[in-house]
Amino acid sequence: MASSPQGVVQPVAAGGDKVVQSDSFEALARAGFLARGAVYAIIGVLAIKLAFGTGGKTTDQRGALKTVAEQPFGKVLLILLAIGLAGYALWRFVHAALGHGPERNDSGLDRVTALCSGIVYAGLCALAVLILLGSGGGGNSTSPDKTTGGVLGWTGGTWLVGLAGLVMMGVGAYQGFRGVTHDFLRDSKSEQMGPATRTAVKWIGTFGLLARMVVFVLVGVFLIKAALEYDPSEAVGIDGALAKLANGPQGPLLLGIVAAGLIAFAIYSFSDARYRRI
């Protein structure tokens, strides 16, 4: 007699829950928050140095990983980052597959968000591995303008690029919403924090999420501009968005504020490594 779909799904879900509740999975997931924080800390520090005129540059996640590789013991550090990024991606994929987070009440949007986040961080992990192997550090074949140029050549490509821009703006708006409403605190074990720690995490997280909002909205705006003008050179990534801030009115001031916010997001990520509900 054939098993019913429910009879198959229930053991799979139970097995997934067993994995999620294991100490090794939790340790790997928490390492992921450390890796995420390290990447954003590098991006923020390099940008704030540029804002203060003490060197630095605007960069993205790829640039952050390359910066790590260039440091003393860079390969060791990059291996640790790759492990952490893999752990974060795995945690997000499991979250998407099981359809629940700490409160077991995730919506469909939460699951889709987790899946997209998992894909992004799995890609960063793969990039770290490529850099370790010596084949991911050079070239810009995956730069936003080249990718956008390829998509614009497709049938309906203009609409796809414009839609991608709207999605990025939506992601940015969601980051801002979570920051302003302090919604992100629901994911933390705030009951284990002292009053001072809870207040610090609340405001550091808010500042960090608002900085991410600015960056993602700018990326979205310039994707839409690339679609409207049929000009792939208008498309930018995180590094390009920070460069737009630097080159605009009051550029150093605005870049410095957003860069400080990205560093705040890194610190919030480090706090997640301790207090996040896994």
* pLDDT for residue 10 is more than 80: no
pLDDT bracket for residue 110 (50, 70, 90): confident
Higher per-residue confidence, 217 vs 143: 217
CB 37 within 8 A of CB 68: no
- Other Cβ atoms less than 10 A from the Cβ of 183: the count is 13
Q: Residue 52 is which amino acid?
A: F
Least confident span in 15-19, 87-91, 197-201, 227-231: 15-19
Give the C-alpha separation, 214 to 59, whole Å.
Answer: 15
Rounded mean pLDDT, 42-59: 95
Rounded mean pLDDT, 189-215: 97
Burial of 54 (0-12, 13-18, 19+ CB in 10 A): exposed
Rounded mean pLDDT, 211-220: 97
